[in-house]
Structure 1
Amino acid sequence: MFSIIINTFTIAAEPVTEFNPTDYEIDELSRNLLLSHPNPAIHKLVPISVNGDDDCLFYTLQVFYPDMSIEELRLRSISELCSHENYHASVVNGALDLVDDTNVDNHVKRILNNGQYGGVLTLSALSSVFEREIQSIYPDINENDEYFGLLNRSFYPRPYLKAVSSPLIIMWSGAEPQTGHIWRANHFVPLLSSTENQDHSTCATTHNNYPSSIKLHPLIGVECDL
């Protein structure tokens, strides 16, 4: 049923990836967080303000694809996860299961509802939905934060899908860091290129080869309550 409905809609060939100040508002808090990243090329990207409810990952994708509704993005993500459960389960098989739901079934049941946060599994699904690499950018806020190494990575479409050249770049954001407290992401924002930075596709991220020996405390859900 999902596929029948989805096939009646087409996805724009090219996403919006360049910042236009007349169309978008800069997320200044995320911009300050972005400056903590050690890759200077990433500092030139522009974080865009999106709705701060728990659908923020879908609102983030809507910046890249403004003609798509939140409902369509959710439906396509769920269809992809249900149709290729084993593939997407392999993405979180290891350390990444500590930053998301432990299995695809639980994730799908949760994101079926509005206002339920997305995460690693949703990013994995969306990469295949758009047949495009998704670069995940996590700021370097906490000292020796293992999440920084784990979540600065790329998600790729399923192997037999040919990814197009330009990636979608998504940042894990959150509240302003507080002295004496561990910072945790609770928001997503899109990162767009500016006219001064046309080589954003060179931002270095890690392939999905993660060490299974990493031990982390669970990252409680990305609840976009900014």
Structure 2
Amino acid sequence: MEQDPNTISYRDISCFCRYGCEHAEHKLRQHIFKKPTQQLQDRSVTQSVRKNISSPHAEVEDCQPTGADIPCVKHFSNSLDPLMALKRLAKCDSFGLLHHECEALNPYIRLIQGQRRSLSSDKLMVDTFASGFTPKDLITSQTMFAAKIRMDGDCLPGCGSVFAFGKDDHSDLLRLLIIHELALHADFYTKEENLMKGYQKETSGSNELVHAYAMYSDKFIPGVKFNVRKIFEEETLGLLKLKSFMGIWQIFALSSVLRMQITSVYPQLGNPLVRQHLQRMIMPRVKSTSHIAFIMWTSTRSKSPYNWLPNHFVPLLPFR
């Protein structure tokens, strides 16, 4: 007999008795669920949010919380809480799960736009120590100064926050957007042809840039055969730790998040080949402004060429 789809049959215990046993726990019981009368209100995105999301999806399907203390993505209200979303993503223990969770965030991700910034208009201070790293061969229409930026590990997201909002206090949002971009577009950022866009120098061989960027990752182990995609995924998962340092792949993602070109500025220090790979123009996946952001690799330690270790990013801005 066909059973009502809203009815479930069950026994009180797992029974291994012989056929015909009739003790109480052996008998089938039935439970009838109430038929749904209306769609859940929290499955749809409000009209005010839908106008600003970067994905055409209207709903979040099959959303399961990964931790009891972190609410499901579909329970967020009109505005996304970046720190709460980052804590949720931090529960991901694989790149596949991270990709799934970032897809679920699509309806709540708002597009942002990088803009031209200056020290005077945005009331930013000059970082005199970092300004000493500005390379002499940097060609710009105006004199550029290093702006003071947070030094807590969120310096690159802080740079993105400056170009998007004029100040560096939206670093949690920019970290979330960078992770979201990398998780959903891993194929794009691990292809040589995409990394070559904006690169002015001729490479010496096939896949030079993608291999170099994998080797610059802290997930690369010297002397061990490596897989670029695996290193990319491990590095992206490492970003889930708050205040974790970022590198060249994250500058590519930031360019796409801001939808503007970024000039990656590398001081005239360290290995010349490293500088050749990192001093370059970076193109976004989708460009929506002619303005260019300048972001420089710097150090908080020493200007000595023998002790050079880039561990900080600063935005380079004109005075006006």
Residue identity (%): 23
Once residues 123 and 111 of structure 2 are traced to their aligned partners in structure 1, the CA distance between those partners, rounded to angstroms, is 21
Match of 1:58 in 2: 157
Bigger Cα Rg: 2
Mapping 1:19-168, distance limit 5 Å: 19-20=119-120, 23-34=123-134, 36-39=135-138, 41=140, 44-66=143-165, 69-90=170-191, 91=195, 93-100=210-217, 101=219, 102=228, 103-142=231-270, 145-158=272-285, 161-168=286-293
d(CA) in 2 for partners of 1:113 and 1:42?
38
Q: 1:56 to 1:121 in 2, by over 3 A?
A: same
Q: Which amino acid aligns with 1:23?
A: K
Tell me: CA distance 1:3–1:16, structure 2 relative to 1, closer, same or farther (3 Å): farther
* Residue type of the alignment partner of 2:131: R
Distance 1:38 1:83, change over 3 A: same
Deviation of 1:122 after TM superposition, in Å, equals 0.7
| Aligned pairs (5 A) from 1:137-216 | 137-142=265-270, 145-158=272-285, 161-174=286-299, 175-178=301-304, 181-195=306-320
Report how far residue 171 of structure 1 moved: 0.3
1:152, distance to aligned residue in structure 2 (A): 0.7
Deviation at 1:186, TM superposition (A): 1.1
Give the SS at the match of 1:154. strand
Report the more deviating stretch, 66-75 or 85-94: 66-75
Aligned residues: 190
- 8 Å CA contact 1:30–1:47 kept in 2: the answer is yes
Stretches of structure 1 lacking an aligned partner (at least 5 in a row): 196-226
Q: CA deviation at 1:113?
A: 1.2
Give, in angstroms, the shift of residue 14 of structure 1.
5.0
What per-residue deviation string (whole Å, max 9, x for no partner) do you get for residues 164-199 of structure 1? 2111110001133237x241211100111223xxxx
Structure 2 contact 113–258 (Cα < 8 Å) conserved: no
In the TM superposition, what is the alpha-carbon distance from 1:18 to its structure 2 partner? 1.6
User: Following the alignment from structure 1 to structure 2, what is the Cα–Cα distance between the partners of residues 31 and 165?
Assistant: 25
CA distance in 2, matches of 1:9, 1:95: 31
Aligned pair in 2 of structure 1 residues 5, 42: CA closer, same or farther (>3 Å)?
A: same
Amino acid at match of 1:39: L
The letter of the residue matching 2:303 is P
> RMSD between aligned alpha carbons?
2.5
Task: Report the CA distance between 1:75 and its aligned residue.
Answer: 1.4
* Structure 2, unpaired ranges of 5+: 1-100, 196-208, 220-227
Q: Distance in 2 between matches of 1:51 and 1:58?
A: 9
Q: How big is the shift at 1:7? A: 4.3
When normalised by structure 1's length, the TM-score is 0.73
Deviation of 1:10 (Å): 3.7
Structure with more contact order per residue of length (Cα contacts < 8 Å, sep ≥ 6): 1
1:14 & 1:185 partners in 2: Cα distance?
24
2:187 and 2:312 map into 1 onto residues whose CA distance is 27
Mark the CA change 1:119 to 1:136 in structure 2 (over 3 Å): closer, same or farther: same
Q: Name the amino acid aligned to 1:33.
A: F
Cα distance between partner residues in 2 of 1:42 and 1:139: 19
TM-score, normalization by structure 2: 0.53
Change (3 A) 1:132 1:41: closer
Matched-pair contact (CA < 8 Å) for 1:16–1:63: no
- Does the CA contact (< 8 Å) of 2:116 and 2:293 recur in 1? no
Residue 8 of structure 1 deviates from its aligned partner by: 3.8
One-letter amino acid of the structure 1 residue matched with residue 262 of structure 2: I
